[in-house]
Amino acid sequence: MTPDLLPSELTAGVLMATSFAVLLTMTLALIRAALGPTVFDRVLALNMFGTKTVLLISVVSFVTGRSDFLDLALLYSLMNFIGMVALLRFTQYNDFGGSVAAPGESETR
């Protein structure tokens, strides 16, 4: 697929700097997720990591001039949301059953 529009040299430099800043933030989020003492540190770090992935894909799509990557970035944010909801639901109820907090299920564990 041919690029839609290529950025100028200055814009490309700025975009590369942006992508490195995003990568640095991803590294920091990864460190927090690995160290994080509580559940919510890790959940927040994972959520931020997913958001930064979306940003990185968007920046790369502008560097390479391919606007079709932006659809993928949208899909990634949706997936991030679904995973986050599943994770929080699990930490809250220990269960994914149709009925929230099935009687006797969450208390017995």
Partner 1 sequence: MNLIVFALLALLAITAVAIAQLRELWAVIMFTGIYSFLSASWMIILDAPDVAFTEAAVGAGISTVLMLSTMALTGKAEDIPRKSSVVPLFVVIVTGATLVYGTLDMPHFGSPDAPVQVYPDPSFVERSEADMHGLPNVVTALLASYRGYDTLGETTVVLTAGIAVLLILRKNEDEQDDTAPLARNKSS
User: Which residues here bind partner 1, judged by CB under 8 A?
Assistant: 19-20, 23, 26-27, 30, 33-34, 39, 42-43, 46, 49-50, 53, 56-57, 60, 63-64, 68-69, 72, 75-76, 79-80, 82-83, 86-87, 90-91, 94-97, 104-105, 108-109
State in angstroms the smallest separation of the CB of 9 from partner 1: 15
Least Å distance, CB 35 to partner 1, is 10
Q: How far is the CB of 5 from partner 1 (least distance, A)?
A: 17
Q: Which is nearer to partner 1, 11 or 97 (CB)?
A: 97
Per residue, what are the HEC states of the chain? CCCCCCCCHHHHHHHHHHHHHHHHHHHHHHHHHHHCCCHHHHHHHHHHHHHHHHHHHHHHHHHHCCCCHHHHHHHHHHHHHHHHHHHHHHHHHCCCCCCCCCCCHHHHC
